[in-house]
Amino acid sequence: MENSKIAWTNHTFNPWWGCVKVSPGCKNCYAEKFATGRLRMPVWGQDAARKIASEALWRKPLLWNKRAADKGVRELVFSASMADVFEDYQGPDAARVMEARERLWALIEATPREYVLKSQFTLASVKGKSWPHPVIASGRLYIRDQDTLLCYDVRKK
């Protein structure tokens, strides 16, 4: 969506909609509630079909990137807010989701004005799958997952 109302991003882009709950953190999933409740899109669960983005939507991030470059600014795009890019989906649209996932990686590489994941690591005390929201302040990385708060010193040594 162009001009997102989410405070920390400029736009949102969903290569597909749908997901499978994989951990206790998924219990109150906003995306599932929005998709299945308000929009009545049955895209949640291993056996549910996924809604793949239209060609017009796939072109939007490239347009946003060009406009940002023309203005000399960096704009943030929240990608896959209504899906899990890393889910192990084996449902009826598995091939289409795999294709969309590969296309998303190419899109990210084609829009270098956006932030790109360059590193990741496993949280020592978190068991199972986890999608915490990190915060960096004063050279420290804070990560909360369920009832655990972790702090890492990430200052350049």
Higher-scoring residue by pLDDT: 44, 149: 44
- Pair (143, 127) in one structural domain: yes
- Pair (67, 16) in one structural domain: yes
Q: With a cut of 80, say whether residue 120 has pLDDT above it.
A: no
Place 118 in a pLDDT band, splitting at 50, 70 and 90. low
- Pair (40, 96) in one structural domain: yes
What is the model's pLDDT at position 86?
A: 84
From the list 129, 130, 118, 124, the residue with the least C-alpha distance to 151 is 124
Say what the alpha-carbon torsion angle 42, 51, 95, 107 is, to the nearest 10 degrees: -150
Token pair listed for 43: 């895209």
Q: How many independent structural domains does the chain possess?
A: 2
Q: How far is CA 115 from CA 65, 104, 127, 149, in A?
A: 11, 14, 27, 25
Higher-scoring residue by pLDDT: 38, 116: 38
- Pair (96, 132) in one structural domain: no
What is the model's pLDDT at position 119?
A: 63
Domain limits for position 107: 11-118
- Pair (89, 50) in one structural domain: yes
- Pair (128, 84) in one structural domain: no
Q: Is position 150 within any domain?
A: yes
- Pair (67, 139) in one structural domain: no
- Pair (108, 140) in one structural domain: no
What is the model's pLDDT at position 50?
A: 94
User: Mean pLDDT across the stretch 25-46?
Assistant: 86
Q: Is position 2 within any domain?
A: no
Q: Is position 17 within any domain?
A: yes
What is the model's pLDDT at position 98?
A: 93
From the list 2, 12, 1, the residue with the least C-alpha distance to 67 is 2
Q: What is the chain's mean pLDDT, rounded?
A: 84
Q: Is position 5 within any domain?
A: no
What is the model's pLDDT at position 125?
A: 65
